[in-house]
């Protein structure tokens, strides 16, 4: 959804909308599968709470899409920050509450089984040999029932955990590259700001990426984005935070502990190495803009805007060429 606000290419916006609907359908399938195996009132009530969130979420999403189509990006971002993020947290909160409820059901079943076993033990003492035989049969049946129930509850808990983890991962990562998405990047950057440390933020854009899609097809273009993302993640190291903001734009956050000129040179050496995809050689070229916190500000939106502006200034310089730049300098 956020990526649709960042691109000005209508074809890319349509492609992002298709991806958004695809992941929305997968979430719906997961919820339907979960609803099919729930049979207690509390679980169904929690699912209904999620159902109540969906109409408002869809309404806001439609408003964001409409605003994005009219290039009203700032109003759309306010809706995302002020309302959609909160609805998303409520949606995740219901999942966590449902998980705790399932665990409580499991514990109650285990407690009942233990009580039954204790009752069987007392019967053995009370009724002698006959009681022992009866209790042995009852205990064996109870043990089998307990094991079966424990196994079923364990499987249900694992399925719920997997569904929760999958939804959490998909809400924080870019579907194509596997890098952090804008929302997760903002959260990580905010954490760095709270720690009080200084950092440098790079806004990175692939130059002339549209001709790659036009000449070689979107499948090759997607592969280029994925490979560049992998290289950027490797170049960032363990201390760097990397995200795809949308289209051919990436963001990198690193500790501000060395010169930006040297760091940019190292990034170019890694990212601009030729790529060979299906027998075709692709030569990635980058424009990079930097902003420092706190030197250039402390607000993340302001830092990204500064880095974005410097990136476009560099892109313009690269397009003008050396001769044109020398003429401008003499003027």
- pLDDT of 325 reads 46
pTM of the model as a whole: 0.54
CA angle, residues 289, 290, 294, in degrees to nearest 5: 150
Averaged pLDDT score across all residues of the chain: 82
- pLDDT of 117 reads 77
Place of tokens 């699912």: 47
- pLDDT of 268 reads 93
- pLDDT of 329 reads 44
| Nearest C-alpha neighbor of 284 from the set 210, 204, 195, 208 | 208
- Separation of alpha carbons 230 and 242, rounded Å: 10
User: Please, what CATH class does the domain formed by 182-330 belong to?
Assistant: alpha beta
- pLDDT of 87 reads 78
Which residues 6+ apart lie within 8 Å of 81 measured at CB?
none
- pLDDT of 94 reads 81
**Per-residue pLDDT reduced to its tens digit, 283-300:** 999 999 999 998 999 888
| Nearest C-alpha neighbor of 274 from the set 209, 219, 228, 226 | 228
SS3 23: helix
What are the residue ranges in the chain where pLDDT is below 70?
Answer: 1-25, 27-28, 30-31, 124-125, 127, 130-131, 258, 321-331
Burial class of 238 by CB neighbour count within 10 A (0 to 12, 13 to 18, 19+): exposed
Q: Treating both helix axes as pointing N-terminal to C-terminal, what angle do 182-194 and 300-330 enclose, rounded to 10 degrees?
A: 100
- Separation of alpha carbons 245 and 204, rounded Å: 10
- pLDDT of 331 reads 40
In this structure, the strands spanning 199-206 and 286-293 are antiparallel
Residue by residue, DSSP assigns 98-161 as: HHHHHHHHHHHHHHHHHHHHHHHHHHHHHSHHHHHHHHHHHHHHHHHHHHHHHHHHHHHHHHHH
Domain ranges of the chain: 2-172, 182-330
Q: How many CB atoms lie within 10 A of CB 162?
A: 11
| Nearest C-alpha neighbor of 205 from the set 251, 253, 249 | 249
């Amino acid at each position: 959804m956020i990526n649709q606000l960042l691109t000005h290419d209508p074809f890319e916006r349509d492609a992002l909308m298709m991806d958004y609907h695809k992941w929305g359908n997968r979430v719906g399938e997961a919820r339907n599968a979960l609803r099919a195996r729930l049979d207690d009132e509390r679980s169904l009530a929690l699912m209904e709470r999620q159902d109540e969130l969906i109409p408002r979420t869809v309404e806001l999403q439609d408003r964001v899409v409409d605003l994005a189509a009219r290039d009203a990006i700032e109003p759309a971002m306010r809706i995302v920050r002020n309302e959609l993020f909160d609805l998303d947290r409520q949606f995740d909160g219901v999942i966590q509450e449902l998980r705790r409820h399932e665990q409580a059901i499991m514990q109650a079943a285990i407690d009942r089984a233990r009580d039954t076993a204790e009752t069987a033990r007392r019967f053995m003492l009370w009724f002698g040999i006959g009681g022992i035989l009866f209790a042995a049969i009852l205990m064996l049946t109870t043990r089998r029932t307990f094991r079966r129930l424990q196994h079923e509850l364990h499987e249900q808990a694992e399925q719920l955990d997997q569904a929760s983890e999958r939804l959490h991962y998909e809400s924080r990562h870019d579907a194509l590259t596997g890098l952090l998405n804008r929302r997760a990047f903002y959260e990580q950057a905010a954490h760095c700001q709270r720690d009080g440390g200084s950092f440098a933020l790079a806004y990175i854009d692939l130059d002339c990426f549209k001709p790659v899609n036009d000449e070689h097809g979107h499948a090759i273009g997607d592969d280029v984005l994925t490979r560049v993302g992998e290289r950027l993640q490797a170049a960032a190291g363990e201390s760097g935070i990397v995200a795809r903001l949308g289209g051919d734009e990436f963001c990198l956050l690193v500790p501000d502990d060395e010169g930006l000129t040297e760091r940019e040179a190292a990034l170019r050496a890694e990212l601009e190495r030729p790529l060979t995809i299906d027998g075709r050689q692709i030569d990635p070229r980058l424009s990079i803009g930097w902003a420092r916190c706190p030197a250039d500000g402390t607000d993340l939106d302001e830092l990204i805007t500064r880095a974005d502006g410097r990136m476009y200034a560099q892109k313009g310089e690269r397009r003008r060429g050396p001769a044109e730049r020398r003429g401008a300098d003499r003027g």
